[in-house]
Structure 1
Amino acid sequence: MNKQTNQSLTAIIGGIIAALLLLVGFNSYVVINPGEAGVLSILGKAQEDALLEGIHYKIPFISKVDVYDVTVQKFEVPAQSATKDLQDLKASFAINFRLDPVQVVDIRRKQGTLSNVVSKVIAPQTQESFKVAAARKTAEEAITKRDELKEDFDIALNNRLDKYGILVLDTSVIDLNFTKEFAQAVEDKQIAEQRAQRAVYIAREAEQEAQADINRAKGKAEAQRLLAETLRAQGGSLVLQKEAIEAWRQGGSQMPNVLILGGENKSSIPFLFNLGDLADIDEERPSPEEASPLDEPSPFETEEDESSSLDLPPSYGNLQE
């Protein structure tokens, strides 16, 4: 009986020892996965060297390992500041960052958990960095030079978070908001600029039209001067005669039968005379017999005899007919 009791007790003790060995074995090492970093603490005191990915030995039961995620984290931070011209500016930033694996021990000592890092370090430093960047730009420049505003913000934020072991990979400006008064002022300014540009365009167009009229007037005056010089030169009268004939033709009238140069000045414009009109006048004039009932000789007969005795050119045949 005693023998069986001893064997049972021995088995129990053996089981307990095996369990303790397994427990000690599992608490004697820690596995750090990729993208993680660990901080070993012995009796509450953090050790100097960070535990990077792999298997690491630790003293069981009296040591503890805090594991930190060192992959890229994203955090959205609202910020508010005043611009160089004292306009209120609100912004929202998306910050991509990660913890420096080498400095996780210092982070553990000073900040504690990752949530503390975000709330106690990243958020306030983002606010301060935005104030620095916004103070260098006016409200208008914050809109037109947004890339420069972001660059100034990135530089200020990196300098502030680097000493905390926080690596800023990228930042994005999600939104920029101004006061309603400023937004209305910007809109009014844009409208005024557009109207001013329109007025300048109209003024330039009127100036160009005036210059075109001046050029046309100069060209016309020059043409008239050249024409006058041509007419004053030898042969100018022939030019006038040709122009008169062309004008007559273009007017759609029938060409006259006779071309008579009027006046002693041969340079004057030719006088066009239609002999057909003279024939009509001659037919309407009463004969000498009808005009003198007393059968006295008419003085027109003498004129007719004298005209018949003249040697007329062939082109005056229409008068005798």
Structure 2
Amino acid sequence: MSTKSLMALVGGLLIVIVAANSLYIVNEFERGVELRLGRVSNGDLDRGLHVKFPFVDSVKKFDGRIMTLDAPAEPILTVEKKTVEVDSYAKWRILDVKKFYTATNGEIDRARSLLSQRINEELRNQFALRSLHEVVSGQRDELMLAIKDELNKFSDTSLGIEVVDVRVKRIDLPVEVSGPVFERMRAERELEAAQHRAEGEKMAKITRADADRKARVERAKAYRDAEKIKGEGDAIAADTYAKAYNQDSEFYAFVRSLEAYRATFAQKQDVMLVDPASDFFRYFKSANGDAAKGVQK
């Protein structure tokens, strides 16, 4: 290889090295700062291709997406001085890259450690103002919102971090106090259940008594209406009988006698001892009853 070719090769390599140290890309999901001799020269790099002075400027890039900080469970006291084990996590992202780099020297682990300590302090401060019931169910949303607001006051100004959300995954009682607490809760629930049962039985008795009263009233009304209808029917029947008798008294007497015969001799073993000249046999001897009348004469 000739000297000229060697020099061209060396020159090409130098150009590639200089170009590689002069150009860099910041992706859409990244945030970055440009340093010149260790000091921040550009605190918020835009996304895209950039040029820097080779071997003088350097670039620090960080993940600009929302990250999760899973804090370890910590014992915390409530306003009643009850100890609870609180397991929480936070969602955060870098908001001010220059401030973040200055506060943490660009170390994500250091940022996590500082934020974890601050979350623990805010949890203690907020839990100390609330009862166990409030932190478990009564004011959970208000508690998380208050913690997030207080964290952002610190992290925004001191770390260049935005806390997007803070959540409590689990709140446990210590083993030595969980038993008595559970027993008290069970007793309270049993008392509440007994009160509900007593109220239910009271309402059931009232409902049954009201239903019985209404049933008696309805039966009385039905009996009254039935007796009224029966009386009206009896009156109509009596009036019909009277009219029929007045139209043909002899035929009416004949029909009544047939009914009497049918009822009297319904069974073959029936026996009667009656005078043959009795008016009972009036129509046995004559259809119009004249023979019986002659006998009586």
TM-score normalised by the chain length of structure 1: 0.57
1:126 lines up with 2:125 in the alignment: no
Larger fraction in helix: 2
**SS in structure 2 at match of 1:85:** coil
Residue pair 1:80, 1:130 contacting (<8 A) in 2 also: no
Residue pair 1:74, 1:96 contacting (<8 A) in 2 also: yes
Residue pair 2:43, 2:98 contacting (<8 A) in 1 also: yes
For residue 151 of structure 2, the aligned residue among 157, 168, 174 is: 157
Residue pair 2:148, 2:166 contacting (<8 A) in 1 also: yes
What is the root-mean-square deviation of aligned Cα atoms in Å? 3.0
Structure 1 stretches lacking a partner, 5+ long: 1-6, 216-321
The letter of the residue matching 1:71 is R
CA drift of 1:18 comes to 1.9
- Percent identity over paired residues: 22
Per-residue Cα deviation, 1:175-209 (whole angstroms, up to 9, x for no partner): 11112343223322223223433554576578779
Residues of 2 paired with 1:205 and 1:17: CA distance?
Answer: 97
| Residue number in structure 1 paired with 2:98 | 105
Residues of 1 paired with 2:15 and 2:203: CA distance?
Answer: 101
Residue pair 2:29, 2:63 contacting (<8 A) in 1 also: yes
**SS in structure 2 at match of 1:137:** coil
Residue-pair matches, total? 209
| Residue number in structure 2 paired with 1:12 | 6
**SS in structure 2 at match of 1:27:** helix
1:90 lines up with 2:85 in the alignment: yes
Per-residue Cα deviation, 1:79-106 (whole angstroms, up to 9, x for no partner): 3321111111221112111111xx2122
TM-score normalised by the chain length of structure 2: 0.62
Q: How do 1:1-321 and structure 2 match up within 5 A?
A: 8-78=2-72, 79-100=74-95, 103-112=96-105, 113-119=107-113, 121-145=114-138, 146-163=140-157, 164-200=159-195
| Residue number in structure 2 paired with 1:315 | none
The letter of the residue matching 1:110 is A
The letter of the residue matching 2:103 is K
**SS in structure 1 at match of 2:71:** strand
Residue pair 1:92, 1:174 contacting (<8 A) in 2 also: yes
Residue pair 2:32, 2:43 contacting (<8 A) in 1 also: no
CA drift of 1:14 comes to 2.0
Residue pair 2:32, 2:45 contacting (<8 A) in 1 also: yes
Structure 2 stretches lacking a partner, 5+ long: 211-297
